Amino acid sequence: GDSVTQMEGPVTLSEEAFLTINCTYTATGYPSLFWYVQYPGEGLQLLLKATKADDKGSNKGFEATYRKETTSFHLEKGSVQVSDSAVYFCALTGQGAQKLVFGQGTRLTINP
């Protein structure tokens, strides 16, 4: 079945550092790919998405590119802030499907 594997955390960085959280997937056909963020005590919020190969999703300085050749959707940000501290989930929906399949989540802590 479909699955998502993401970089294990926790990840701790200093403010203004470069961030990469790796995400790879296994799916048939052409899934849609997502990054969700969960701030402490809150529900998940959609951060960005990409629905076809080579699409780049971006939001709040975060970017991820749908790479079908490497089945990856790595999350990047050039300069992180303390407010980016949260848990980040990579997820996919299968082609034509609505059910979300999540990775295990990566806890990110940014120190001032």
Whole-number minimum distance, CB 97 to another protein, in Å?
7
Whole-number minimum distance, CB 28 to another protein, in Å?
16
CA distance 51 to 57: 9
Q: Which two tokens stand for residue 11?
A: 């990840």
Q: Build a one-symbol-per-residue string for 12-31: x at contacts with another protein by CB under 8 A, - elsewhere.
A: --------------------
> Should residue 45 be labelled a site residue for another protein when binding is judged by CB under 8 A?
yes
19 closest CA partner among 94, 85, 67 = 85
Distance from CA of residue 3 to its chain's centroid?
14
Whole-number minimum distance, CB 44 to another protein, in Å?
4
